[in-house]
Amino acid sequence: MGLVSGTGDSESRFRSYVECAATIRMEAESVIDIGGGAGTVLAGLRERWPHFKATLLELPEVIVHAGPILAEHRAGEVALETGDILRGPARHKHDVAILRAVIQVLSPADAELAIRHTAQSLRPGGEAIIGGWGILDDDRLGPPNGVFRESHLP
């Protein structure tokens, strides 16, 4: 598994895209971004590799905002899948799964469940890229740098 990092500003989002892109096998055909917010990492990946079948898996209250943002980035071919990785795997199998700033904010039990469901969302030989600043304390209130770096506030 690869590891990427970033702070949430535009420079780090670009860096995250580049770091994700550097770890993806070029023979991969299908990429899913689990908890990928508006899907901008997928938009960047598809701009570079338009052959990727890209899927964004996000909670219902978040995914409703992704379509217009992806359209603005001319990434309309990103499939939107409403779901919760804690409740089950993605509907289809993928070659690569990206979890950026997801695992770090979950409890240990939920993180284990999310990783298990992510593995079930992958084709044989598939890869998961888990990225983010670092692991938060069990109470998810510290360390301060990790909390604030994983909080994407407007």
**Which CATH number do you get for residue 40?**
3.40.50.150
Q: Is residue 44 part of a domain?
A: yes
Computed over every residue of the chain, the mean pLDDT equals 78
Question: Structural domain tally of the chain?
Answer: 1
pLDDT for residue 21 is more than 80: no
Q: Are 32 and 41 in contact (CB under 8 A)?
A: no
Q: Are 100 and 4 in contact (CB under 8 A)?
A: yes
pLDDT for residue 152 is more than 80: no
Q: Is residue 5 part of a domain?
A: no
* pLDDT in the model for residue 6: 38
Q: Is residue 4 part of a domain?
A: no
Percent of the chain scoring above 90 in pLDDT: 36
* pLDDT in the model for residue 135: 58
- Which residues constitute the domain of residue 50? 10-150
pLDDT tens string 99-124 = 988 888 888 899 999 999 999 999 99
Q: Is residue 2 part of a domain?
A: no
Q: Are 115 and 128 in contact (CB under 8 A)?
A: yes
Prediction pTM value: 0.75
Q: Is residue 30 part of a domain?
A: yes
Q: Is residue 56 part of a domain?
A: yes
Q: Are 90 and 31 in contact (CB under 8 A)?
A: no
